Structures are given as C-alpha cells and as structure tokens.
Amino acid sequence: MKIEIGSIAPDFSLYSSEKQLVSLENYRGKNVVLLFFPLAFTGVCTKELCNVRDNISLYDNSNANVLAISVDSPQTLAKFKEDQKLNFPLLSDFNKVVSEKYGCLYDTFTMGMKGVSKRSAFVIDTKGEIQYAEVLENAGEEPNYRAVTDCLSKLK
C-alpha cells in the first residue's frame, strides 16, 4: 500500500527498545517524523540515526517527535540505542505489519533476507495526516533531511 500525502497515517502500536508499547495515537496534537530503517548496526542506518540524534533540536523546535522503526527485535534495538546514544524512541516492527501498512517493506533485501523495512521518512501533522512521504528503494541512500525539516517548518 502506498501512503499518499493528505491521507490519515495508519495507526499502530509497537514495542520500543525499552519494552514499552508505543502507539501513534498517543502523539496526536504533535507533529511526528516517522523513520523506517532496514537494520540496526549497519553503516547507513547508523549514519542516518546519528544524524537525527545530532540534529534533534531541529525536530524539537518544530514540535515534532521522532520515532524510528525497524524489523529488529526490541532487545537488538535497545543495544543499538545504547551504543549510539540515540535520543528518540526505536520501535520494533518484528512482525513487519507496520512496514507493510506504510508501503515500505522489501520483498527481498540483501543476502536473500525477506521482509526488511525500506529506508523511509514520513511527516505526520498534529491531526494525523501525512504531510511528507519518502520511500527509498536504495538502502544506501538517506532520507532528504532538508525536505523533512522544510515540511515541519510549514506546519509551525
């Protein structure tokens, strides 16, 4: 399913790296930057999430919460978050349901792995509407951070 700008973001509840259930509906009234990434501890994923960590004030100043999702287990995400000192929630889509809802799941990834999240970025406004959507086919690319922050600045 392809997510269209202006559509309502599909709701979800996933476990965080802290083993807490996190629901998108709990973020209504705030902007959300929803990032999907293929796998913890890989080069581009680490670079992407550390970029967000280092620039978290850009998101905070836009009344936005960052949520990052992968198909890794909560335990793997907890170690990744600790090692990289990430300052936003990492959510486990181990069953691949949310990645599929958002249209960002590889049928086959590298080395024949099935069902890995595509690197993607979505901006969801305070009403739960999608205002920005970027799904990358090439896992070696990073999201367009400038487009994400420009979209957030228009939502202020």
Q: Where are the beta strands (DSSP E) in the chain?
A: 13-16, 21-23, 31-36, 64-70, 90-92, 120-124, 130-135
From residue 60, give the alpha-carbon distance in Å to each of 33, 52, 54, 65, 152.
Answer: 11, 11, 12, 7, 10
pLDDT at 156 over 80: no
**What is the mean predicted confidence (pLDDT) over 126-151?**
96
* pLDDT the model gives residue 30: 94
pLDDT at 150 over 90: yes
Determine the pLDDT at residue 1. Answer: 66
For position 109, what pLDDT does the model report?
A: 79
Instruction: Write out pLDDT tens, residues 98-124.
Output: 999 999 999 877 777 788 999 999 999
Instruction: Say which DSSP state 127 is in.
Output: T
Distance CA 47, CA 54 (A): 10
pLDDT in tens, 51-101: 999 999 999 999 999 999 999 999 999 999 999 999 999 999 999 999 999
45 in active site: yes
Burial class (CB in 10 A: 0-12, 13-18, 19+), 91: buried
Per-chain mean pLDDT for the chain: 95
pTM of the model: 0.95
User: How many other C-beta atoms lie within 10 A of the C-beta of residue 1?
Assistant: 10
Report CA 94 to chain centroid distance, whole Å: 14
Cβ–Cβ under 8 Å, residues 10 and 140: no
Question: What top-level class would CATH report for the domain 13-155?
Answer: alpha beta
d(CA 119, CA 34): 11
**Domain extent listing, the chain:** 13-155
pLDDT at 111: 75
